[in-house]
Amino acid sequence: MTGQTLAELGEHALIYLIQGSLGESDYVLIGSGDDAAHVATADGTYLVSTDLLIEGQHFRKDWSSAEDIGRKAVAVNLSDINAMGGVATALTVGLAAPGDTPVAWIRELLAGMIAECAKVGAKIVGGDLSSAETIILSITAMGDAERPVSRAGASAGDVVAVVGELGMAGAGFGALSRGFRSPKAAVDRHRVPEPPYAEGPQAAEAGATALIDVSDGLLADLGHIARASNVAIDLASEAFEIPEAVQTVASALGGVDPLQVVLSGGDDYALVGTFPVGAVPAGGRTIGAVTAGEGVTVDGQPFEGVQGHTHWG
Amino acid sequence: MTGQTLAELGEHALIYLIQGSLGESDYVLIGSGDDAAHVATADGTYLVSTDLLIEGQHFRKDWSSAEDIGRKAVAVNLSDINAMGGVATALTVGLAAPGDTPVAWIRELLAGMIAECAKVGAKIVGGDLSSAETIILSITAMGDAERPVSRAGASAGDVVAVVGELGMAGAGFGALSRGFRSPKAAVDRHRVPEPPYAEGPQAAEAGATALIDVSDGLLADLGHIARASNVAIDLASEAFEIPEAVQTVASALGGVDPLQVVLSGGDDYALVGTFPVGAVPAGGRTIGAVTAGEGVTVDGQPFEGVQGHTHWG
């Protein structure tokens, strides 16, 4: 095994390898493996989550404006705090860029970051700058939650509900990948997600038993809840609305099932959770049920052909 | 100015541009511009600091082992918390690497990180993985302090004291840059700094009025304290010991003043602070005094030829 590479090992196995070595501490109330960690201080607690965004991997300057990239970089981090039922208050930003980057581009990037932070009242409290051959953004968001909701609390008998649209960002990515700039609603959503920031704390207050944001794709992310909670989840296909833009892109791509885009498209940053029957908050669409067992099914069957995105193939 | 680039603007001006746009919040007790930020939660406070380390910019795989790179990446972050008088408790790690990176290399990197964390009892609580063309490490450290000490509290009449050796990492860098692997003590110190972790909280308890870690070089870092505190600092050249390894490297390089290596070498992660007379804790070496005015001098004179490291020239 000495010569094994990351590409051969794969991202999931690498995550398990890392998580298995981290150890425990009285300070770590919820550790690695959830949307955010929950950490104790001498006098209280906070949530923290981090994301790395690399030009070419996570965004393209020819697809998105600097402002859009800044908004998205912050949004994906605020979404992680939201998906714990919390509200982000502070962010740190690591930024690396080539020396020939226009200052105007960086100003726009920063303006996008600050505008997205303003949606929840968060502030950038520190950072680090470096030169690099491409743009690299590393953001860490911290926040508060009255009752942090992990991925691990779902139990048989709960219902599954989602807030926000699904499949739009995936459809936008599909369109951009093939050189299109429309449908605009889908392309815009890929460029800048709009996480439902009010609904994370609302879901926690309503009694959510597990929460996650849809970054890898709904089935993949519900798989994370099912695994962490030791339950099975079954979705009802008729509960899903297929947005028009998703239908348009699926037709244009030829033979793609629009439901697959909805169920497996990433980067929407909708909020999905499990709730006791009757506790789904207003605005939540019920899409399935939690049962004993394992895995995620649609109408009682495995959904074919769906893979979450992973790094190193 | 529309066409101006980062290289033309320079790192310091970019920092001012960014800091000027961040705004204030009740949550931000100490914001961007110190070793770490001090942030309020609903029920308490914490310190947070972030550093980006990029292969080729901050480390080289042919100069340092994976374990050394992991230790250093964590050490520079723990040092920032230490330099606020705090103790780090939790870290997040962003890691990007090429797919052909050996898993064994990542295991060693992680072992180095965990070993350095263990020195202060901190744990890695979360992270993010990505593929990239070079190794990128983004670490954020959080911690507690009973009394956070910023850069801004020095006042005329205080004395300046340092804990830890100076110039060793700079000498090590000088040696490695010219293809040498010795003197070992200096090269080792460049590869893995040894921040005085016990002394940050001790200095705060002893009454330190300002603290900083020596990352950019002593004169540059004391310049940060002088500017933030609106004071002048004068160092006494006879107060400095020149380590033997620094003398060796300075001679080998031909005509380099070893005192310059001590005063301007970066990456030592010694701790320097200002204290009321009589309050310097055991282990601290008094090297100068705080007076009214501005700037940093040595024996009453500007020290020639010293520049801190900046990105984008």
Extract the tokens encoding A10. Answer: 């794969």
Task: Tell me, yes or no, whether B286 and B176 share the same domain.
Answer: yes
User: Which among B130, B310, B111, B105 is positioned nearest to A138, based on CA atoms?
Assistant: B130
Out of A92, A104, A131, closest to residue B140 by CB: A92
Q: What is the CATH number of the domain that holds B217?
A: 3.90.650.10
Q: Per the CB < 8 Å rule, is B131 touching A46?
A: no
Task: Tell me, yes or no, whether A176 and A261 share the same domain.
Answer: yes
With cut-offs at 50, 70 and 90, classify the pLDDT of residue A122: very high
pLDDT at A217 over 70: yes
- Distance CA(A195)–CA(A270), nearest Å, equals 6
Q: Per the CB < 8 Å rule, is B39 touching A125?
A: yes
pLDDT at A202 (0 to 100) = 97
CA B213 to chain centre: 4
Average of pLDDT values for A127-142? 96
- Distance CA(B229)–CA(A73), nearest Å, equals 34
A23 sits in which H/E element = none
What range defines the domain where residue B198 resides? 159-298
pLDDT at B1 (0 to 100) = 45
Alpha-carbon distance A103 to nearest alpha carbon in chain B (angstroms): 5
Q: Per the CB < 8 Å rule, is A50 touching B138?
A: yes
With cut-offs at 50, 70 and 90, classify the pLDDT of residue A308: low
- Which residues in chain A have their CB less than 8 angstroms from residue B28's CB? 90, 123, 125
Interface test with A, best of B49, B84, B103 (most A CBs within 10 A): B103
Q: Per the CB < 8 Å rule, is A136 touching B54?
A: yes
B/e letters for B113-147, b = 16+ CB within 10 Å, e = fewer, are bbebbebbebbbbbbbbbbbebbbbbbbbbbbbee
Assign A30 to helix, strand or coil.
Answer: strand
pLDDT at A253 (0 to 100) = 84
Alpha-carbon distance B242 to nearest alpha carbon in chain A (angstroms): 31
Q: Please report, in angstroms and rounded to a whole number, the separation of the first and last CA atoms in chain A.
A: 19
Q: Of B144, B171, B206, which residue sits at a domain end?
A: B144
Q: Please say whether the beta carbons of B153 and B225 come within 8 A.
A: no
Answer yes or no: is B270 within a domain: yes
Angle separating helix axes A103-118 and B11-19, nearest 10 degrees: 30
Task: Tell me, yes or no, whether B164 and B256 share the same domain.
Answer: yes
At A236-258, the pLDDT tens digits run 999 999 999 999 999 988 878 99
Answer yes or no: is B306 within a domain: no
Give the side-chain half-sphere CA count within 13 A for A72: 26
Answer yes or no: is A23 within a domain: no
pLDDT at B253 (0 to 100) = 84
Task: Tell me, yes or no, whether B41 and B80 share the same domain.
Answer: yes
Q: Per the CB < 8 Å rule, is A132 touching B31?
A: no
Q: Please say whether the beta carbons of B191 and B173 come within 8 A.
A: no
- Which residues in chain A have their CB less than 8 angstroms from residue B216's CB? none
- Distance CA(A42)–CA(B29), nearest Å, equals 17
B/e letters for A85-123, b = 16+ CB within 10 Å, e = fewer, are bbbbbbbbbbbbbebebbbebbbbbbebbbebbebbebb
- Distance CA(B11)–CA(B52), nearest Å, equals 15
Answer yes or no: is A25 within a domain: no
At A158-211, the pLDDT tens digits run 999 999 999 999 999 999 999 999 999 999 999 999 999 999 999 999 999 999
Task: Tell me, yes or no, whether B177 and B140 share the same domain.
Answer: no
Q: Per the CB < 8 Å rule, is A131 touching B57?
A: yes
Give the CA angle between residues B119, B123, B128 to the nearest 5°: 130
Answer yes or no: is B152 within a domain: no
B313 at the A interface (CB within 8 A)?
yes
pLDDT at A306 over 80: no
Give the side-chain half-sphere CA count within 13 A for B115: 15
Task: Tell me, yes or no, whether B128 and B179 share the same domain.
Answer: no
pLDDT at B308 (0 to 100) = 58
pLDDT at A1 (0 to 100) = 45
Give the CA angle between residues A78, A123, B94 to the nearest 5°: 55
- Distance CA(B70)–CA(B93), nearest Å, equals 11
Task: Tell me, yes or no, whether A234 and A259 share the same domain.
Answer: yes
Task: Tell me, yes or no, whether B267 and B164 share the same domain.
Answer: yes
A81 sits in which H/E element = helix A66-82
Assign B95 to helix, strand or coil.
Answer: strand
Give the CA angle between residues B160, B166, B170 to the nearest 5°: 140
Alpha-carbon distance A239 to nearest alpha carbon in chain B (angstroms): 33
**Cβ neighbours of residue B253 closer than 8 Å, sequence gap 6 or more:** B174, B178
Q: Could you tell me the pTM of the whole model?
A: 0.94
pLDDT at A183 (0 to 100) = 94
Q: Per the CB < 8 Å rule, is A144 touching B110?
A: no
Answer yes or no: is A152 within a domain: no
Task: Tell me, yes or no, whether B226 and B283 share the same domain.
Answer: yes
Answer yes or no: is B311 within a domain: no
Answer yes or no: is A304 within a domain: no
- Which residues in chain B have their CB less than 8 angstroms from residue A39's CB? 46, 89-90, 125, 142
B2 at the A interface (CB within 8 A)?
yes
- Which residues in chain B have their CB less than 8 angstroms from residue A124's CB? 22, 32
Its ipTM equals: 0.93
- Which residues in chain B have their CB less than 8 angstroms from residue A85's CB? none
Task: Outline where A88-210 has alpha helix (H).
Answer: 103-118, 168-177, 184-191, 199-206
Q: Per the CB < 8 Å rule, is A129 touching B11?
A: yes
- Which residues in chain A have their CB less than 8 angstroms from residue B120's CB? none
Q: What is the CATH number of the domain that holds B140?
A: 3.30.1330.10
Alpha-carbon distance A215 to nearest alpha carbon in chain B (angstroms): 13
pLDDT at A295 over 80: yes
Alpha-carbon distance A84 to nearest alpha carbon in chain B (angstroms): 14
- Which residues in chain B have their CB less than 8 angstroms from residue A92's CB? 37, 48-50, 140
Q: Please say whether the beta carbons of A97 and A132 come within 8 A.
A: yes
Q: Please say whether the beta carbons of A92 and A59 come within 8 A.
A: no
* B positions 23-82 inside 8 Å of A (CB): 23-25, 27-28, 31-34, 36-37, 39-46, 48-52, 54, 57-58
Alpha-carbon distance A79 to nearest alpha carbon in chain B (angstroms): 15
Task: Tell me, yes or no, whether B114 and B185 share the same domain.
Answer: no
What residue has token string 């509200």? A87
Out of A52, A103, A126, closest to residue B32 by CB: A126
User: Which among B1, B107, B8 is positioned nearest to B311, based on CA atoms?
Assistant: B8
Task: Tell me, yes or no, whether A164 and A287 share the same domain.
Answer: yes
**Cβ neighbours of residue A299 closer than 8 Å, sequence gap 6 or more:** A234, A235, A236, A237
Task: Outline where B141-183 has alpha helix (H).
Answer: 168-177
- Distance CA(B91)–CA(B140), nearest Å, equals 5
What are the Cα distances from residue A10, in Å, to A18, A31, A103, B112? 12, 22, 37, 22
With cut-offs at 50, 70 and 90, classify the pLDDT of residue A309: low
Q: Of A115, A144, A173, which residue sits at a domain end?
A: A144
Domain count, chain A: 2
- Distance CA(B99)–CA(A312), nearest Å, equals 5
Q: Please report, in angstroms and rounded to a whole number, the separation of the first and last CA atoms in chain B.
A: 19
pLDDT at B254 (0 to 100) = 83
Give the side-chain half-sphere CA count within 13 A for B171: 31
pLDDT in tens, chain B (313 residues): 458 999 999 998 999 899 989 988 999 999 999 999 999 999 999 999 999 999 998 999 999 999 999 999 999 999 999 999 999 999 999 999 999 999 999 999 999 999 999 999 999 999 999 999 999 999 999 999 999 999 999 999 999 999 999 999 999 999 999 999 999 999 999 999 999 999 999 999 999 999 999 999 999 999 999 999 999 999 999 999 999 999 999 998 887 899 999 999 999 999 999 999 999 999 999 999 999 999 999 999 999 765 556 676 5
Q: Per the CB < 8 Å rule, is A52 touching B311?
A: no
Task: Tell me, yes or no, whether A123 and A172 share the same domain.
Answer: no
pLDDT at A313 over 60: no
Q: Of A99, A120, A144, which residue sits at a domain end?
A: A144
B177 at the A interface (CB within 8 A)?
no
